[in-house]
């Protein structure tokens, strides 16, 4: 069946670079003679028919912007039978032959359900968590890393001035990739991630005392959101070491901001590839990058895969933070 009309949406937590992906999808499709609809606010837009036909200029001036011009949402209604049926009806009514879903694993589960109901879908990984197993870099991860690094460098300035310990929470409920890589980039004394169990005395207090004995007077402890409790950790650290400590939760500032070069290029490549997949009759695939090559996986298989944590990098981080 020739593909004549496709749609694109962004879903779940937004990520810098999603706009570049949308732009690439729209421009690739139009350039190949395929009509494109934007679906607003994730799957909610499909349920409510909140869609708009795009032209080449609809995606002008968005490549450099964070957030998503299509807006985003997590849609509980889409998880119900009724919501799903409404979404499928919208696709049928509009004559949509394929849908590109830009989001994380929750969004891909939705795409998989749509595929089962006869709507061909392609997923593009957009999440700052970098927790899509088959993909080395998700869209938004590089920008979030750089944003965190910049914020924590600022915390370092003030920690240093006051001989303090800064306990910083970065995003990642179930994934410590952001915490680990940022932790290395900012020279953290300790990095706590959900993938590795930690011992308060051994991993925080002993490390602080050892480095303090060599003259270190200010400290950065990076804590992934999945571990949390930074206020409590800061209080205990102060009690046990006597080093004045402050907790900072970076929060949603990590999700905004202009995408980096890496994220813009990655998103552009992935958006282009996603349309090619649809045009070649493919469905239920997720676009990925492996060793700088854009490729694709079956969504179902991708969702079953477990991303291994880089224990070697974790080891290196701690070996050099003495
Ligand atoms: O998945 C991206 C993410 O930013 C996670 O790191 C974080 O745990 C979650 O989304 C926060 O979600 P929300 O924006 O719904 O609070």
Instruction: Say yes or no: CB of residue 131 within 6 Å of ligand 1.
Output: no
What does pTM read for this prediction?
0.96
Whether residue 1 is predicted with pLDDT greater than 80 in this model: the reply is no
Question: Which fold would CATH assign to domain 142-255?
Answer: Rossmann fold (3.40.50)
Domain ranges of the chain: 5-140+259-304, 142-255
129 a catalytic residue? yes
Looking at the domain that runs over 5-140+259-304, which CATH code has it been given? 3.40.50.450
Comparing 5-140+259-304 with 142-255, is the CATH topology the same? yes
Report, as an integer, the average pLDDT of 81-92: 96
Q: What is the pLDDT of residue 184?
A: 98
Residue with CA closest to ligand 1 atom 15: 13
- Measured from the Cα of 225, ligand 1's closest atom is 8
Spatial separation of the C-alpha atoms in residues 316 and 322, rounded to whole Å: 11
Q: What is the mean pLDDT of the chain?
A: 97
Counting ligand 1 atoms within 8 A of each CB, the residue from 129, 139, 140 with the most, and so the one to mutate, is 129
Spatial separation of the C-alpha atoms in residues 103 and 11, rounded to whole Å: 5
Residue with CA closest to ligand 1 atom 10: 13
Instruction: Say yes or no: CB of residue 13 within 6 Å of ligand 1.
Output: yes
Q: What is the pLDDT of residue 254?
A: 97
Say if residues 22 and 61 touch (Cβ distance below 8 Å). Answer: no
Counting ligand 1 atoms within 8 A of each CB, the residue from 11, 67, 171 with the most, and so the one to mutate, is 171
């Amino acid at each position: 069946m020739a593909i004549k009309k496709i749609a694109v949406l962004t879903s779940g937590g937004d990520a810098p670079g999603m706009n570049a992906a949308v732009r690439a999808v729209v421009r690739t499709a139009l350039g190949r003679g395929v009509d494109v609809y934007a679906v607003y606010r994730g799957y909610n837009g499909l349920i409510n028919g909140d869609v708009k036909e795009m032209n080449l200029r609809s995606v002008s001036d968005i490549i450099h912007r964070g957030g998503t011009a299509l807006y985003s949402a997590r849609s509980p209604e889409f998880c119900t039978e009724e919501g799903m049926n409404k979404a499928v009806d919208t696709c049928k009514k509009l004559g949509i032959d394929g849908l590109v879903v830009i989001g994380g694993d929750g969004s891909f589960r939705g795409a998989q359900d749509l595929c089962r109901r006869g709507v061909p879908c392609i997923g593009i990984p957009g999440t700052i968590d970098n927790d899509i197993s088959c993909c080395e870099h998700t869209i938004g991860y590089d920008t979030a890393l750089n944003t965190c690094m910049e914020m924590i460098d600022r915390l370092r300035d003030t920690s240093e001035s006051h001989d303090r310990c800064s306990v910083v929470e970065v995003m990642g409920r179930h994934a410590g990739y952001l915490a680990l890589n940022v932790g290395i980039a900012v020279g953290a004394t300790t990095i706590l991630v959900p993938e590795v169990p930690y011992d308060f005395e051994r991993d925080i207090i002993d490390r602080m005392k050892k480095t303090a004995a060599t003259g270190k007077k200010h400290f950065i402890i990076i804590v992934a959101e999945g571990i949390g409790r930074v206020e409590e950790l800061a209080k205990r650290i102060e009690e046990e070491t006597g080093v004045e400590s402050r907790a900072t939760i970076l929060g949603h500032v990590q999700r905004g901001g202009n995408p980096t070069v890496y994220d813009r290029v990655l998103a552009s490549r992935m958006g282009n590839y996603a349309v090619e997949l649809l045009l070649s009759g493919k469905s239920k695939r997720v676009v990925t990058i492996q060793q700088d090559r854009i490729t694709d996986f079956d969504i179902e298989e991708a969702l079953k895969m477990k991303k291994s944590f880089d224990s070697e990098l974790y080891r290196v981080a701690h070996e050099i933070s003495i």
